A and B are shown apart, each in its own frame.
Chain A
């Protein structure tokens, strides 16, 4: 297949040590990838998404209260369109905000932020929860 203009096979040119090392690295990456995928298949096969929300911190800024949170998917399946709802029971009634996270792969986490008007919140604690996902 690999023939030059005179129809001769090209000679086996020397393979330097560096090339052997990079090739060995590539081989290990391929092997490692297959192992990670196989483990994931065995561990997560047929599992479901398990979502947990945690408030990381709250911050006051320009008349708003920012609620920083992280959603963890501890299950073995990707969750898509994750709707996180924040509810605060204030003296004027309840204040709600919703943030949608595009997708959350198994054993991953994503952070988000929810913005409430400070005056409306009046220092009331915010409860977070996942209301829906696919």
Chain B
């Protein structure tokens, strides 16, 4: 009798051959997840600001980032993930597997680069790994949808998992691309140098880009306006709401990275709009990809 049966774990393989096949497939999935995690997050793993922020972000901000990331990973697993899932429990298992893979990939790369050393305190190492694991674990989950071999009945890219799924996908995309830019000093620098008119123009450009990416310029994965719906309705319900979500994610990231400390409300708003530009592209791209 297998340990899985003794522990009464659900979804345990019925036979030895099935168990072997499932383990083998999991091994391949794990390797793909590791590769995906590294590919998606390498720019951030090799960014000085990320190393610094990992050690200096306050513990409460870091904990909140982790708490926000887990539900997003869960949603990504429901919609994509590195293997087909049929239950909430399987998705929860996938989330923690992706997180473990993300930590392993981050630790491996940072150790090779000499950024994680015994000189650092446990808190500093934990901070660096937690920060880097956000994009790495997302990359691990997306590895299957981008690099995996799909079965005929695979559900990946099923195209439209409901309104809330669309919002979740946009939030994930915004978080991922925002993560690439938010740690840099340039966001605040640009916000300081832009006039209010230019910031408004950037906000309009972000909105239009989001809409054009998904509905207009015929990318692969482009969505059609839902039957019975109008372009205006799609713009208001998805693009405008999506942009509001992107603004929230951008503000959250900037706050997490301590970019709002001792900044005036004008700079806070400006920096949020500036970061929302790449984040909105990320949100739109995520809708196409997922």
Interface residues of A (CB under 8 A from B): 1-6, 9-20, 22-27, 29-30, 32-34, 36-38, 40-41, 44, 78, 80, 102-103, 105-111
Overall SS of chain B's interface: helix
Given A13-B83, A17-B4, A34-B66, is A4 in contact with B155 using a C-beta cutoff of 8 Å? yes
Q: Is the CB of B59 within 8 A of A40?
A: yes
Q: Which of B56, B130, B152 contacts A105 (CB 8 A)?
A: B56
Q: Contacts of A13 on B, CB cut-off 8 Å?
A: 11, 22, 83-86, 90
Q: Contacts of B10 on A, CB cut-off 8 Å?
A: 12, 15
A-B contact pairs, 10 of them (CB 8 A): A5-B153, A13-B83, A14-B12, A15-B9, A16-B13, A17-B19, A19-B93, A26-B95, A26-B96, A44-B123
In the complex, whether B186 has a CB less than 8 A from a CB of chain A is: no
Q: Is the CB of B122 within 8 A of A36?
A: yes
Shortest CB distance A109–B (Å)? 5
Q: Which of A30, A40, A110 contacts B96 (CB 8 A)?
A: A30
Q: Is the CB of B90 within 8 A of A105?
A: no
Given A13-B22, A105-B55, is A37 in contact with B4 using a C-beta cutoff of 8 Å? no
Q: Is the CB of B66 within 8 A of A2?
A: no
Contact string against A for B residues 70-102, beta-carbon threshold 8 Å, 1 for contact and 0 otherwise: 100000001100011111001011111111110
Tell me the complex Cα distance, A5–B13, Å: 25
Cβ-Cβ contact count across A and B, 8 Å cutoff:
162
Query: Which of B9, B101, B123 counts the most chain A CB atoms within 10 A?
Result: B123
Given A14-B19, A17-B2, A105-B121, is A2 in contact with B86 using a C-beta cutoff of 8 Å? yes
Shortest CB distance A10–B (Å)? 4
Shortest CB distance A15–B (Å)? 4
Contact string against A for B residues 93-122, beta-carbon threshold 8 Å, 1 for contact and 0 otherwise: 111111111010000000000000001111
Q: Is the CB of B96 within 8 A of A23?
A: yes
In the complex, whether B218 has a CB less than 8 A from a CB of chain A is: no
Q: Please give the number of chain B residues whose Cβ is less than 8 angstroms from any Cβ of chain A in the complex.
A: 63
Tell me the complex Cα distance, A2–B90, Å: 12
Shortest CB distance B75–A (Å)? 10
Q: Is the CB of A37 within 8 A of B62?
A: yes
Q: Contacts of A15 on B, CB cut-off 8 Å?
A: 4, 9-12, 22, 90, 93
Q: Is the CB of B93 within 8 A of A23?
A: yes
Given A36-B122, A40-B123, is A2 in contact with B99 using a C-beta cutoff of 8 Å? no
Query: Which of B11, B83, B95 counts the most chain A CB atoms within 10 A?
Result: B11
Given A1-B161, A5-B153, A111-B119, is A19 in contact with B97 using a C-beta cutoff of 8 Å? yes
Q: Contacts of A105 on B, CB cut-off 8 Å?
A: 55-56, 120-121, 123-124, 127
